[in-house]
Homo-oligomer: A and B are copies of this chain.
């Protein structure tokens, strides 16, 4: 603990027999996943949080991570200090440690790949494939703030709350939601509609959500932005869950229901009409 190990010695880890190891990889490339002049602290926060979010989405606790850094040129000592200081803060906040990694040079942009490990008591973790007919669709926080933050960073938009939105883009608030009544989960990285589609496909079930129930932050409510952008912009890192309707899950808002049907997402306005959702989310190419 308390160190960021970057040598490529292998680490020796002891996994308790009562737990499963949950493992996931998320890679962020400058110019694609963050703007090239992002501060080292913001890059570190985003890289770590996007990965921890994947562990929360499985109902697991963060344990350790492997960090691969590919640098176009040797970073300055200051850059490296700010980067590792932010990682150490994240390690303390989310109770995990850096178990190793690799540092390489690349004839291209900075690339950060994290493979994160989490622990879950055997039988308690979930995936995107367990949603049941009648399950509520739950959301762990407001969506769209990171999308607005990105628009601000790209100088396409300016608001009175620029700092708030930019902070949500780089340091999304991520919180674990645990309950034995959760049947499936995903974290919203590609956008609410796209990631709900991933649960629908994996669970072979239809997702119906009500526009009026989807939470926006007070800051986002003040802006008159097209709702579709907020629902399809990525980087929210809130949890989207399927859970039995007979129980309240603390920290979540009900935005719809899963119903037997073709695995699609239906967005309804307050009169019950289906709103077409052409743009389903962020595509990798």
Name A's B-contacting residues (CB within 8 A).
8-17, 20-33, 54-55, 57-58, 60, 66-68, 70-74, 99-109, 111, 113, 115, 117-118, 120, 122, 125, 127-128, 284-285
Contacts and interface: CB of A to CB of B under 8 A. Distances in A.
A73 to B, nearest CB: 7
A104 B68 contact: no
The copy count of this chain in the complex is 2
Given A58-B12, A105-B32, A23 B66 contact: yes
Contact of A58 (B10, B15, B106): B10
Report the 8 A-B pairs with minimum CB-CB distance, sorted nearest first. Answer: A108-B108, A17-B17, A10-B24, A115-B115, A15-B15, A29-B106, A113-B113, A31-B107
19 contacts: A10-B54, A10-B57, A10-B58, A12-B22, A12-B58, A12-B120, A12-B125, A13-B21, A13-B22, A25-B68, A27-B68, A27-B102, A27-B104, A31-B106, A32-B104, A33-B104, A72-B108, A105-B285, A111-B113
A205 B195 CA distance: 54
A127 to B, nearest CB: 6
Contacts of A25: 8, 66-68, 100-102, 113, 115
A209 B22 CA distance: 44
A57 B117 CA distance: 22
Given A29-B108, A108-B108, A13 B20 contact: yes
A3 to B, nearest CB: 16
A22 B8 contact: no
Nearest to A117: B23
A56 to B, nearest CB: 10
A125 to B, nearest CB: 6
A47 to B, nearest CB: 12
B22 A10 contact: yes
Given A108-B111, A111-B106, A24 B8 contact: yes
Given A23-B10, A125-B12, A106 B32 contact: yes
